[in-house]
Structure formats: structure tokens, C-alpha cells
């Protein structure tokens, strides 16, 4: 029993989606679940926990959600440090559903606008809780980006079909612009 959600968001915080690194040999990014989706995900979480409690009669406490009260998820995945099972990697695609290459993934930074496919499943290991997994990420507006990897039980084609097409970033036709100019305006004009 699992629920899937697709929603637009913006990547936040430290982002490393190109290659495993660090002490725990993993990759990571953060994003906020939009308020309307967060309400649905929290409602579904309560139902999933009730369902798993009905199947498992242990006296376990209820765990805390993976996201904070504002809907921020700090998501990590990859090979892991050997002490636990590796977390499957999401598939990164552009707006045409084409896999994004590693050379682009190395440049993905905070502010990249994306659409995310998130899956929530119940579990009862130490606590009654739900786990979340990012299955796919569609880059809509790149603030510097790249990457495509195995999605586990979904192929690249399956993830692309779930997203469909949208206007925006296309790896085959980059349309680079200076985002700073949009926010600061003309530096030579003065408004007195």
C-alpha cells in the first residue's frame, strides 16, 4: 500500500545530485511540499499508519513525519555507508521527459524549479510511521543542473510518462538567461 503525489516545488539548501560523496557516501537535496499537497499527504499518513496498526498488533509508538511543520524535506539517497540498505535514486528528467546527464546534474543549485513524484508507504520497524521516497524529479527551470539514474521499479520512460510534457528546461535546447538581471533591473537608470 503506497500513495504517490506529483507537485511543483523549488530545490533548497545544499544540493548534491551528481555523485555519492561525504562520510555516508550519499547524495541529497531539499524541497518544500506545497501547502495544499501537504494537507493531503498528512491526511494520507494518518490513514497509512492506521492501516499498518491494524495489521501489526505490536505496541509501538507512532514516529514523526519525514518533513517539518512547513513541509520541508531534506532528502538523501545513494549507496549509503554499508551499515544500511542503499536508498534508490530518483530519475531526473527535463520537460520533454529526456534523462538529464551527469554533467548537468553537477550544476543543479538552490532555486532550481522542479516537479517531484513523491511516494509514501507505511512501515512498522521500531515505530509506526511512513517513509517517503522521491521517485522522479523533472527540471522545469534550471538554476544550474544535471542527472539521470535508476528509479528502482520505474524505468526512465515510466517516470517521463507520469510527468508528461511541460514548458521549460530542455537539455537539447538550453535557453540560458541571467536571472540577476530580472530582479535588479537596469543598473544605469536611477529613480529619484
- pLDDT value at 69 more than 50: yes
Q: Give the chain's end-to-end CA distance (angstroms, integer).
A: 62
- Spatial separation of the C-alpha atoms in residues 42 and 100, rounded to whole Å: 31
Which pLDDT does position 5 carry in this prediction? 93
Q: Which residue has the higher pLDDT, 95 or 167?
A: 95
Where are the chain's structural domains?
3-180
Q: Mean pLDDT check: name the lowest of 97-101, 148-152, 174-178.
A: 148-152
- Spatial separation of the C-alpha atoms in residues 111 and 182, rounded to whole Å: 14
| Average pLDDT estimate for 177-185 | 58
Which pLDDT does position 96 carry in this prediction? 87
Select 3-180's CATH number: 1.25.40, 2.40.50, 2.40.160, 3.90.550. 2.40.50
Q: Mean pLDDT check: name the lowest of 56-70, 111-125, 131-145, 175-189.
A: 175-189
Which pLDDT does position 190 carry in this prediction? 47
Report pTM: 0.69
Average pLDDT of the chain?
79
Q: How confident is the model at residue 150 (pLDDT cuts 50, 70, 90)?
A: very low
- pLDDT value at 6 more than 90: yes
Q: Which residue has the higher pLDDT, 85 or 97?
A: 97
- pLDDT value at 114 more than 90: yes
Amino acid at each position: 500500500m503506497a500513495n504517490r503525489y506529483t507537485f511543483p516545488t523549488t530545490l533548497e539548501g545544499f544540493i548534491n545530485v551528481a555523485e555519492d560523496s561525504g562520510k555516508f557516501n550519499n547524495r541529497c537535496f531539499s524541497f518544500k511540499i506545497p501547502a495544499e499537497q501537504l494537507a493531503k499527504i498528512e491526511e494520507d499518513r494518518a490513514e497509512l499508519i492506521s492501516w499498518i496498526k491494524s495489521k501489526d498488533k505490536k505496541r509501538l509508538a507512532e514516529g514523526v513525519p519525514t518533513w517539518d511543520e512547513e513541509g520541508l524535506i531534506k532528502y538523501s539517497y545513494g549507496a549509503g555507508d554499508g551499515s544500511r540498505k542503499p536508498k534508490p535514486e530518483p530519475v531526473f528528467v527535463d520537460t520533454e521527459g529526456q534523462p538529464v546527464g551527469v554533467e548537468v546534474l553537477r550544476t543543479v543549485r538552490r532555486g532550481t524549479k522542479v516537479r517531484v513524484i513523491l511516494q509514501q508507504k507505511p512501515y512498522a520497524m521500531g515505530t509506526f510511521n511512513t517513509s517517503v521516497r522521491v521517485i522522479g524529479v523533472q527540471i522545469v527551470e534550471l538554476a544550474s543542473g544535471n542527472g539521470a539514474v535508476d528509479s528502482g521499479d520505474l524505468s526512465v520512460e515510466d517516470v517521463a510518462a507520469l510527468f508528461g510534457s511541460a514548458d521549460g528546461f530542455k537539455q537539447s535546447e538550453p535557453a540560458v538567461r541571467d536571472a540577476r538581471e530580472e530582479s535588479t533591473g537596469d543598473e544605469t537608470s536611477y529613480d529619484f
